[in-house]
Chain A
Amino acid sequence: MSAPQTMLDKLWAAHEVLRREDGVSLLWVDRHLVHEGSHHAFAKIKERGLPVAEPELTFAVVDHYAPTRGRAQIADPQIARMIDTLRDNAQAHGLKIYDLSDPRQGIVHVIGPEDGITLPGLLINCGDSHTSTHGAFGALAFGIGATEVAHVLATQTVWQRKPKAMRITVEGTLCAGVTAKDIALSWIAKLGTDGAQGHALEYAGSAIRNLSMEGRMTLCNLSIEGGARFGMIAPDETAFAYLEGRRFAPKRAAWKAACADWSALTSDDGAVFDREVTLDAAEIAPTVTWGTSPEQALPISAAIPDPSQIPPAKAEAARAALDYMGLKPGQTLEGTPVDQAFIGSCTNGRIEDLRAAAAVLKGRKARIPGLISPGSSQVKAQAEAEGLDRVFTDAGLEWVASGCSMCVGMNGDVVGEGKRCASSTNRNFRGRQGRGARTHLMSPAMVAAAAVTGTLTDVRPLLDRRAA
């Protein structure tokens, strides 16, 4: 009988081509996703005259620079050039590309699962830190830099030292109006943005099992904001139900055989983790960031912290963050006026996220301008079939095409200088959403609530007698 294994152990062993004497593993890559930002890596292999080793396992996606309006005629020549470069590279190497006009175009971490490119048991790389999203299906998925992207393109392998294993167990039932986003912001606030550095995270417990795939993706997506390059959840019936029938997923007998293999990926009873953290789902409240790091987050009912009252190691950063954010210690978070709203991104741009926002906005008007960019063109079509787009536009919000959009501002969708934005995204870093932009991270329902009141607001009273 061999020792009990973690899911990480099983996934690692299944992809290890070899291990060097210094302990670093060469891993086989099952799926490689590239986007406009991969231009450095393509330039590297071109410089050396190398082909893409496995074009069939490499998928190109236009997302980071995708215009959300006026796609037919891209006004900014730099943006047009970035997209053209990806097209040229995809064509030169024979890669499938999800281009702007493709009805399946969208953010790489949304369309991977949507099209069945993402499956349990796969090793998935992408030159994007939010690649941890795909771990929600029980894949070993992690973000890499441009040099590593070039290496994967050229060899279909990646060198990695196996990370330590960490498990976050969330038991119990989430309260109404509390989402996977709030679980993530809560644990990151508790452990810090480097709390899981050097570790692969597995999320477990009854509250995790009860999450939809959309919620699980949000949670795994945000692993990197707590320092973990990998986030994962054991594949189960919820994952299988999501994937069955997707375009690139196995079919019929092959599907059944695959599900049997995938069911064995779960961490064994008694498997030892280097670090274990347990949270009580019932204690998690709708959470909002107040600073310039995702760890600077608090329940919406809390007061903005006084730097003189927090541990000295974090006080200086808090002081600088409050200065940048234009906030005063002691003020309540709730009631802080916001200038604009954004719903979208690989973190919270899926259909369930849009439904949650629409449940709050239905029949109400937004007091501030806002942008809603669905995570993919398929999410957009689904939302329109359900009439969600009308709910948003009737509320006065702008409904646009899919892409990374205002999460990172590369396509020109930016928050104005000094403006405060309620955002369903992943990073409240200085200048992330535009120079001088002030970002408050929260769930899509909380963004909707902020849009309705024009201030940071607890969504729960707005959900009374409404289905969330």
Chain B
Amino acid sequence: MAGWSIHKGKAVSLPQANVDTDQLIPARFMSVPRAEGYGPYLLHDVRRDDAGALRLDFPLNAYPEANVIISRRNFGSGSSREAAVYALVDAGIRALIAPSFGDIFAANAVNNGLLPARVDEAVCKALEAVLETGPNDIRIDIEARTFTLGSISAVFALDDSWATKLINGWDDIDLTYNHGAAIAAFKNIRSQTAPWAWPAMAE
């Protein structure tokens, strides 16, 4: 996975709290192999009307060029389905800006190069106001933890280890294999100090 530290793109507002992962991708699409692409399933049901047609008043329908989403608190709450992140990434989304994110979702996002940037509620409100008339240019700098959108320049919060991972595009499995000896030693000690931690044989 390629890392990144600067992103220049278009931001759009999705002014809704608790955008859960069931909304981000309804469960019925999750049996699709990743290679087929998850972009078409992003927010599949909420962006359509009762007849199944795309709602023109839905931000991502009106501005399909958007690649940064500004939303409200608790974005990505709910199920651990990484498919929610796949849908965002495959639809071209690079960053999310919101006051808070679901814990599992945020970890999944970072594992796929998608930035979950946390900002104060007040900053989010101001961004929403700027975006009310349509999308706007945004420049995000992960290293500096800052972004600029219109006249607003603000900082965002991001775990340092996540910033490093996003910038370098690191793969955890390779990193962990470097600790193979430590893991083997740990396993050996645990098998002696906590023998009950291995499944007992059936009697």
Contacts and interface: CB of A to CB of B under 8 A. Distances in A.
A431 B77 contact: no
Given A198-B103, A408-B27, A227 B197 contact: no
Contacts of A400: none
Contacts of B187: 28, 156
A22 B160 contact: yes
B176 interface: yes
Contacts of A23: 161
Interface string A64-96: 010000000000001101100000000000000
Contacts of B195: 250, 254, 257
Interface stretch (A115-123, A282-290, A378-386): A115-123
A250 B196 contact: yes
A155 interface: yes
Contact of B104 (A129, A250, A430): A129
A416 interface: no
Contact of B103 (A229, A261, A409, A427): A229
Contact of A121 (B78, B107, B194): B194
Given A22-B160, A50-B173, A129-B80, A147 B112 contact: yes
Contacts of B26: 431, 435
Interface in A136-164: 143-148, 150-151, 154-157, 159, 161, 163
Nearest to A230: B103
B31 A227 contact: no
Given A48-B173, A116-B200, A410 B104 contact: no
Contact of B161 (A24, A56, A293, A408): A24
Contacts of A155: 173, 176-177, 183
Given A129-B80, A254-B200, A148 B107 contact: yes
Interface in B137-177: 159-161, 164, 172-173, 176-177
Nearest to A163: B103
A317 B16 contact: yes
Interface string B34-74: 10000000000110001000000000000000000000011
A381 to B, nearest CB: 19
Interface residues on A, range: 35 or more
A163 to B, nearest CB: 8
Interface in A288-322: 293, 313-314, 316-317, 320
A176 interface: no
A313 B18 CA distance: 12
A120 to B, nearest CB: 9
B23 A194 contact: no
A415 B197 CA distance: 41
A26 B182 CA distance: 10
Contacts of B73: 194
Nearest to A228: B103
Given A227-B103, A251-B200, A254-B196, A151 B172 contact: yes
Contacts, number: 185
Nearest to B33: A43
Contacts of B202: 247-248
Contact-residue size bin, chain B (C-beta under 8 Å from the other chain): 35 or more
Given A22-B160, A154-B173, A128 B197 contact: no
Contacts of A257: 195-196
A179 interface: no
Interface stretch (A13-21, A360-368, A457-465): A13-21
A30 interface: yes
Contacts of B13: none
A146 B199 contact: no
Contacts of A128: 79-80
Contacts of B105: 145
A48 B1 CA distance: 14
Given A430-B22, A430-B46, A78 B104 contact: no
B180 to A, nearest CB: 8
Interface in B89-126: 100, 102-105, 107-108, 111-112, 121
A427 B104 CA distance: 16
A194 B74 contact: yes
Contacts of B74: 192-194, 197, 227
9 tightest A-B CB contacts, nearest first: A145-B108, A258-B196, A147-B111, A146-B82, A145-B82, A248-B199, A129-B80, A143-B80, A429-B22
Interface of B: 16-18, 20, 22-23, 26-28, 30-31, 33-34, 45-46, 50, 73-74, 77-83, 85, 100, 102-105, 107-108, 111-112, 121, 159-161, 164, 172-173, 176-177, 179, 182-183, 186-187, 190, 194-200, 202-203
12 contacts: A23-B161, A28-B183, A39-B33, A121-B194, A145-B105, A146-B108, A148-B111, A250-B196, A254-B195, A257-B195, A427-B78, A429-B22
Interface of A: 14, 17-18, 20, 22-24, 26, 28, 30-31, 37, 39-40, 43, 48, 50, 56-57, 65, 78-79, 81-82, 116-117, 119, 121-122, 127-129, 143-148, 150-151, 154-157, 159, 161, 163, 192-194, 197-198, 224, 227-229, 247-251, 254, 257-258, 261, 293, 313-314, 316-317, 320, 408-410, 427, 429-432, 435-436
